[in-house]
Structure 1
């Protein structure tokens, strides 16, 4: 079984912002897998499904980005999922908009959601699907950039990256890391 956790912030004011890229990818996955029933459990909204014979739990932690680790750890315990079957999807400033990268392990690069998960799990070793949002233009503060919705060309790139993220997660579950990196990185 895989736990697939998309990172974001709950609430209408954060919907489809760059920082909620993880939520958007999980929603796209839910559509692809035919998951229609969401329930609140362990501090997250979850939906169950399967892909190519593997059971999956889709999760959107509802505790805000900076404390995502608590719900992720609780769900891992509930479903008996080890860190090597955890896939975390998140926004990434250092990747160009419209692109994604997939990796296993690594630091948090200042991303508070990743920091929280690493602190709660006591490891940094899990799969990551990093959705590129790029750096803010000019002197725009990072917080304003990540908490805003993409417009025009940025929106097209963002939607493309969300679709790629959904594809990459399914590919990762089916084919493993090396082939996924060759296909998507």
Structure 2
């Protein structure tokens, strides 16, 4: 448990160090490769594919990969990590929300948006589950079903905005998702008309 806590803390630190800082990200990449004789992609991939891994470690491993992509140290469609990163983030977005983790879910949605927006390669290898789509529609139309009634209104606005943006990104590559959005909109309209 202690070593997992340390791994999580290190990943969180690496994420913040690399955020929008290409020089630090490149130095970290080179240092880790020199010290461990492994590439960062191999390390991140192993963190993402371990089954019994705390949610926070999976999340920060995926986030670290994204920060390295944003600084151009790694490519967003690097074959050894991109699929695991996407799969992990999609899985995290579909887990039941615990109110104290709501910001983690918002970050996961925003990270998926970053990875998928304009990247047709990743769109074709990512697997979108019915569970993810259902969760996104709940976040948009009835967020209080999964969030505590005492949650701040700004959090609800954030999770709705991120969910809408992710749906827009997904629908730009998937015709069936466009149809689902149209169905959900008409259902929401009829629901509002009844009241």
TM-score higher than 0.5? no
Q: Which has the higher helix share?
A: 2
Larger RCO (alpha carbons 8 Å, 6+ apart): 1
TM-score, scaled relative to structure 2: 0.26
Q: Which has the higher strand share?
A: 1
